[in-house]
Amino acid sequence: MCDNALRERRHRHVPRTAQAVFAVLSKVRRRQPAGVATTDTTLHTRSLMTHRLLAIAALLSMITLPAHAQRSAPAADRDAVRAAVLDYVEGFYEGDTARLMRSVWPEVRKYGYARDAALGTYRGMAMAFPTGFVNYAEGVKAGRTKTPVNAPKEITIFDVQDQTASAKLTAWWGTDYLLLAKENGRWMITHVLWQNAPPGAAR
């Protein structure tokens, strides 16, 4: 592969902010007019500037790389995280306590904010495990609590590392932000922070 092709290929993978720094660096290198003598001080100043710009460009390249380029989790882990969140939401929707038990860590911390539509205010509340989880699921199973028809269950995976992960769930009651951990080889939900949908939000 020729030098020009190599430069073009590398350029496509450098974020725009870093590209701008490289452009300034090129101008610095070309700034000395032809026929003008260059002093030791000028060379030293230009060398310092060049090194500083290179350092900035390298740092910006690292900072602005997309998350998937910085850290790519194995597909099996991402699938297992999604499966855990799906077990969690469908456990509530279908009243399936078995799915809740296999996806939720026994020491889970779940806290959320229910909105009073009349007052327009929120009230914080905790859901104990397993009591609160099981009572809700059994209420669905017995028909005391109804899951709306076509209730959403949109799952967004934010980040998956080798031991911890984070995700967002959009459900009929609002939004859950979830933290997960791999416990004995199984991805389980350890923390949930939720709120009812804000005013005017689509359900």
How high is the pLDDT of residue 166?
98
- Output 203 or 14, whichever has higher pLDDT: 203
The class level of CATH for 75-196 reads alpha beta
pLDDT digits (tens, 9 = 90+) for 36-70: 455 555 545 555 554 454 444 444 443 443 444 44
Distance of CA 91 to the CA centre of its chain: 24
Give the CA-trace dihedral at 48, 52, 54, 58, to 10 degrees.
160
Tens digits of residue pLDDT in 65-120? 344 444 567 999 999 999 999 999 999 999 999 999 999 999 999 999 999 988 99
User: 195: buried, middle or exposed (CB in 10 Å: 19+, 13-18, 0-12)?
Assistant: middle
Residue 15 has pLDDT above 60, yes or no: no
Give tens-digit pLDDT for 134-167: 999 999 999 999 999 999 999 999 999 999 999 9
- HSE-up of residue 96 (Cα within 13 Å, Cβ side): 13
Annotate 120-136 with b (16+ C-beta within 10 A) or e (fewer): eeeeeeebebeeebbeb
**Is pTM, for the whole model, over 0.75?**
no
